[in-house]
Amino acid sequence: MLLRPLHSLKVLTHSLLVILLLTGCEPQSNALFDLSQEGSTAQNFTLPTIEGETLRLSDYKGKLVLLNFWAVWCPPCRAEIPDFIALQKKYQAQGFTFIGIGLENLKTIKDYSQRVGINYPVTYGQQAGHLITAAYGNRAKALPYSILISRDQKILKIYAGLLSPTRLSKVIEQHL
């Protein structure tokens, strides 16, 4: 008979955890993602690339950019990368690029990027990447997380979760 109260306690604990996650822990906000940044100027950042160079978002002014925060351990992140590779090929000549921000160490991100043939700039950095994704409204630290940035460096749209290639293609074409 002790099992029933323990089961009820477990269900209650999980329910409370879900409520906390869905409402957030911010005292003045109840959202996991701050979408209020849409329409504002994108924050500049600097990160190392897997090729040993320095990437600055400001260097991409004049291009339509999709920042994509991802990790190798994240199945939805890995699932969308082949579509990103195809869309990069399709739209690169028209002034569009993805920028992958890998939230792991250099070796992990570089090995995976080379293995799958990522054809767009890829940066890495666990701590710096998490700070940047938080600055772009990802309070939940959820992955994948993407930010569409206009040619004049305004945040057009924030996406949490897996992006379908059909939807993304329409959005890219709309803003090119």
Indicate whether 132 belongs to any domain.
Answer: yes
Indicate whether 18 belongs to any domain.
Answer: no
Indicate whether 99 belongs to any domain.
Answer: yes
The continuous run of DSSP H or E covering 55 comes out as strand 54-56
Print the domain residue range for 103.
31-175
What number of helices (H) and strands (E) belong to the chain? 5, 7
Per the prediction, the chain carries an average pLDDT of: 85
Closest CA to 46 of 31, 33, 57, 36: 57
Indicate whether 3 belongs to any domain.
Answer: no
Count of structural domains within the chain: 1
- C-alpha distances (whole Å) from 142 to each of 6, 63, 65, 154, 157 are 31, 26, 20, 22, 16
Indicate whether 24 belongs to any domain.
Answer: no
Indicate whether 16 belongs to any domain.
Answer: no
Indicate whether 93 belongs to any domain.
Answer: yes
Q: Which CATH number fits the domain that encloses residue 148? A: 3.40.30.10
pLDDT band of residue 22 (cuts 50, 70, 90) is: very low
pLDDT band of residue 67 (cuts 50, 70, 90) is: very high
pTM of the model: 0.80
> Do residues 140 and 32 touch, judged by C-beta distance below 8 A?
yes
